[in-house]
Amino acid sequence: MLHRLWQRRAAIGAGAALALGLSLAGCGQSAAPAGGKTLTIGFVPGMTTDPFFISMQAGAEAEAHKLGVKLLWEGASQYSPSQQTPYVDSLVARGVSALIVAPTDAQAMIPPIRQAVDPHIPVITVDSTINDHALLKSRITSNNVGGGEQAAAILARQIGYHGTVAILSPAPGITTDAARIQGFVAQIRKYPHIRYVGIEYDQEQNTKAATLAQDLVLHHPHLAGIFATDDTSASGAASGLRTAGKAGTVKIVAYDAEPAEVQGLENGSISALIAQKPAIEGQLAVEYAYDLLTGKAKAVRPFVELQNVVLDRANLAANRQWEYRTTP
C-alpha cells in the first residue's frame, strides 16, 4: 500500500522527494490559520470508492491535519458529472474557504465550478480538470501524455514490434484519459509493423470492457496488445481475454496500480502498469489551498505534473509503496 508521502514542490519540480510516513504527517506543529480562524477546505473526488481516490484522501487528510485546517471530503460512489455536481454545489453553499475538485467531465463540470468562483472561493483541480483553466488557481495531475507514450513503448516491445493493438477507455470527456490516449497514439504510430485499430469505450463498466476485449479478439485475429487507460478497462480486458483463451498471449499495459491490477501483474494477465501518485496529488492540493488562503499565493504553481512509475513483475517487490490503498 502507499504508505509514503513526499516532500513538496521543490522536490516535485526536481522529480525527486524525501519519503515521509503518512502516519507521521500530522505529528508536527499545526500552522495557525490566518486571523486564528479555522479554514475549511472542501474536496470532491471523482468517486469515493476507488482506491486511487482513497489514496488521494489519505494524502489530503494527512496534510490537512498537519496544517490545522478542516477538510470536508465528500463525493459520489460513481464516476459521473450528474452525481458529482450536487456535492460541489453543497460545499459552495456551505461557504468553504477553498475547493478542490477532481472533475468527472471537462465540460459538464464547468458550471458548478464557476458557481464556486463567483463568490471568490479559490478552486484547484486534481487528477482531471476542466476546459476553462481561467477559473482555476492550480491544476495538479500526472504526466498523462508521457504515461501514454510509456505505455506504447512498453507494449510495442512486449509484442515484438509487430501486430495489432487497441485501446480500452471509460468514456470521452475525461481529460486524463484523453491525454493518455494522445500520448499512446502518437508513440505507437512510430512503429511501422504495428497496426493501431482505435478506441473502444466501456463506460466504466467491467463487464462491458470484458465483452469489448472478446470482440477485439474476434474481429482482429492478429491482436497482440491492449492499452487500458484505467483500472476498470484493465480488469475487464483481463477477464475478457481469459474467456477468449488469450490471457497472457495478448498483452495488456494498463494505467494505475489498483490492488486488482497489481494482482493481474503478479499472475501475468497484465504485463505492465503505469502507476500514478494520488496521495501526493491530494497532499499538494491541500497545501496549495492553504497557501492561497494564507497570503502565499506566489508559492502556488498554476500547473503541476507528477511523473509516473512503471511497474512490472521484475520491479514490483521494490515498488510496493505505489500500490493504491483501500482504506485512507
Q: Please tell me the predicted confidence (pLDDT) of residue 38.
A: 85
183 and 281 co-located in one domain: no
Kindly state the cell numbers that stand for 260.
486488482
136 and 282 co-located in one domain: yes
CATH number (domain holding residue 151): 3.40.50.2300
Question: 240-251: per-residue pLDDT in tens?
Answer: 999 999 999 999
Tell me the C-alpha distance between 56 and 71, whole Å.
13
Q: Is residue 313 part of a domain?
A: no
User: Which residue in 304, 317, 241 sits closest to 10, CA to CA?
Assistant: 304
Number of domains present in the structure of the chain: 2
105 and 30 co-located in one domain: yes
Q: Please tell me the predicted confidence (pLDDT) of residue 149.
A: 98
131 and 170 co-located in one domain: no
Q: Which domain holds residue 51?
A: 4-143+277-308
Give the pLDDT band of residue 79 (cuts 50, 70, 90). very high
Q: Is residue 317 part of a domain?
A: no
Q: Is the pLDDT of residue 7 over 80?
A: no
Phi then psi for 48, rounded to 5 degrees?
-90, -15
What average pLDDT score do residues 123-132 get?
A: 98
Residues 6+ apart with CB under 8 A from 291: 297, 299, 300
Kindly state the cell numbers that stand for 234.
484493465
Q: What percent of the chain has pLDDT over 70?
A: 89
Q: Is residue 322 part of a domain?
A: no
122 and 248 co-located in one domain: no
Q: Is residue 122 part of a domain?
A: yes
202 and 259 co-located in one domain: yes
User: Which residue in 328, 46, 271 sits closest to 176, CA to CA?
Assistant: 46
| pLDDT: which is higher, 257 or 28 | 257
User: Which residue in 259, 261, 252 sits closest to 154, CA to CA?
Assistant: 252
Q: Is residue 325 part of a domain?
A: no
What average pLDDT score do residues 31-60 get?
A: 87
Beta bridge partners, 73, equal: 43
User: Which residue in 272, 207, 219 sits closest to 243, CA to CA?
Assistant: 207
Q: What percent of the chain has pLDDT over 90?
A: 88
